[in-house]
């Protein structure tokens, strides 16, 4: 680990751009690689927006922000893999495209290089089948927006070595992130299994007309969210009284959604071309600048929470 002082991030999208600024901030020699000049341009714009909110909140000075941005090596030249020590793949969430990359990188990267994927929940072991040295490969799942959310899930694939897990943990520590290891991989890991269980149930409540989406969001923000920012579901149950939780679970769990789909998401919104802030139409309306307002408001609140509760992860 002491030898790792540089990273190559492949995929200059929402996640890659934000990761690059963190590694640069903590002194890593950082390369952000994209397939085209256009994708790099997009990343530079995203980074400007991210850095602006950090400067406005007083987390970085303008000078520090400029230094961070200038220190990043933006490139479309794949030879940056030749001497890589630590590669993060954060390209499109598509198993076949990711596998193509792993077939290529297996030969392009040095054999002692650590390689990680930022997949949201695809099988790390399946990707590792394409690698010559699968023991040096793991999942490193960041949460959006990476420059503000402290958590990183580290996923141990079937052939990932303990040494690799230890190194990825050390990398997380060096960039002030909270690492949690998923010791045996499962689809969606921990974060997305929990997130999608809530999204499915939230959509089920709305689909059945039991409450409006605005009110469901408020219940999470002012109730569940506040609890879970401080203690997890097992601690909540312990403190609430397990006998009471047990009684409720007996009549309520059979009532919860068991749908294999989320029709409100796939049909009502996505099916009509709504992709959220990306194109202005989602569960809420983001036309006429409301997209930027929503992101700015989110970042402001996340920064307030970081300041108050997670100072050591700044």
Ligand X SMILES: NC(=O)c1ccc[n+]([C@@H]2O[C@H](COP(=O)([O-])OP(=O)(O)OC[C@H]3O[C@@H](n4cnc5c(N)ncnc54)[C@H](O)[C@@H]3O)[C@@H](O)[C@H]2O)c1
Pick from 63, 70, 92, 222: which binds ligand X (CB under 6 A)? 92
* Site map 270..299 versus ligand X, x via CB under 6 A: ------------------------------
Beta pairing, strands 86-89 & 6-10 = parallel
CB of 15 to ligand X, least distance (A): 3
Distance (Å, rounded) from C-alpha 53 to C-alpha 300?
Answer: 8
- Using alpha carbons only, give the angle 53, 57, 229 rounded to the nearest 5 degrees: 95
* Site map 106..145 versus ligand X, x via CB under 6 A: ------------xxx--------------------xx-x-
Distance (Å, rounded) from C-alpha 37 to C-alpha 55?
Answer: 27
CB of 13 to ligand X, least distance (A): 2
Distance (Å, rounded) from C-alpha 118 to C-alpha 144?
Answer: 11
Stretch that binds ligand X, among 48-56, 90-98, 132-140, 268-276 (CB under 6 A): 90-98
| Count of beta carbons in the 10 Å neighbourhood of residue 225 | 13
- Interface with ligand X, residue 151, by CB under 6 A: no
Pick from 21, 31, 39, 167: which binds ligand X (CB under 6 A)? 39
Which of 97, 305 has the CB closer to ligand X?
A: 97
CB of 35 to ligand X, least distance (A): 5
Pick from 93, 158, 163, 214: which binds ligand X (CB under 6 A)? 93
Say if residues 235 and 169 touch (Cβ distance below 8 Å): no
* Site map 229..268 versus ligand X, x via CB under 6 A: ----------------------------------------
Distance (Å, rounded) from C-alpha 116 to C-alpha 91?
Answer: 12
Return the beta strands (E) in 133-204 as ranges: 137-142, 151-155, 178-182
Query: What's the distance, CA 136 to chain centroid?
Result: 21
DSSP string, 242-270: HHHHHHHHHHHGGGS---SS-HIIIIIIG
CB of 146 to ligand X, least distance (A): 8
Which of 31, 90 has the CB closer to ligand X?
A: 90
- Interface with ligand X, residue 21, by CB under 6 A: no
Pick from 33, 34, 200, 291: which binds ligand X (CB under 6 A)? 34
Which of 72, 205 has the CB closer to ligand X?
A: 72
**Cβ-based neighbours of 58, under 8 Å, separated by 6 or more:** none
Pick from 7, 8, 9, 12: which binds ligand X (CB under 6 A)? 12
CB of 34 to ligand X, least distance (A): 6
Distance (Å, rounded) from C-alpha 25 to C-alpha 67?
Answer: 9
Residue 197 sits at φ, ψ, to 5 deg, of: -65, -40
Applying CB under 6 A, the residues found at the interface with ligand X are: 11-16, 34-35, 39, 90-93, 97, 118-120, 141-142, 144
């Amino acid at each position: 680990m002491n030898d790792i002082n540089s990273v190559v991030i492949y995929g200059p999208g929402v996640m890659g751009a934000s990761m690059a600024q963190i590694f640069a901030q903590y002194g890593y020699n950082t390369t952000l690689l994209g397939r085209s000049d256009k994708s790099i341009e997009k990343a530079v714009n995203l980074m400007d927006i991210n850095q602006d909110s950090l400067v406005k909140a007083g987390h970085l000075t303008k000078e520090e922000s400029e230094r961070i941005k200038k220190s990043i090596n933006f490139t479309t030249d794949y030879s940056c893999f030749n001497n890589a020590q630590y590669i993060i793949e954060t390209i499109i969430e598509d198993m076949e495209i990711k596998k193509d990359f792993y077939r290529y990188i297996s030969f392009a990267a040095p054999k002692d290089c650590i390689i990680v994927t930022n997949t949201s929940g695809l099988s790390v072991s399946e990707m590792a089948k394409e690698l010559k040295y699968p023991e040096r490969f793991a999942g490193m799942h960041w949460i959006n927006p990476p420059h503000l959310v402290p958590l990183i899930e580290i996923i141990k694939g079937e052939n990932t070595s303990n040494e690799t897990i230890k190194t990825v943990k050390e990398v997380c520590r060096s960039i002030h992130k909270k690492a949690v290891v998923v010791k045996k991989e499962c689809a969606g890991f921990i974060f997305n299994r929990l997130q999608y269980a809530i999204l499915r149930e939230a959509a089920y409540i709305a689909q059945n007309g039991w409450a409006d989406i605005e009110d469901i969001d408020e219940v999470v923000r002012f109730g569940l969210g506040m609890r879970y920012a401080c203690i997890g579901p097992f601690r909540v149950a312990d403190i609430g009284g397990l006998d009471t939780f047990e009684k409720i679970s007996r009549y309520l769990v059979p009532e919860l959604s068991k749908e294999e789909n989320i029709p409100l998401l796939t049909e009502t919104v996505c099916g009509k071309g709504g992709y959220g802030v990306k194109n202005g139409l989602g569960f809420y309306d983001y036309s006429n600048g409301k997209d930027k307002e929503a992101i700015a408001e989110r970042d402001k609140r996340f920064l307030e929470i970081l300041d108050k509760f997670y100072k050591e992860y700044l």
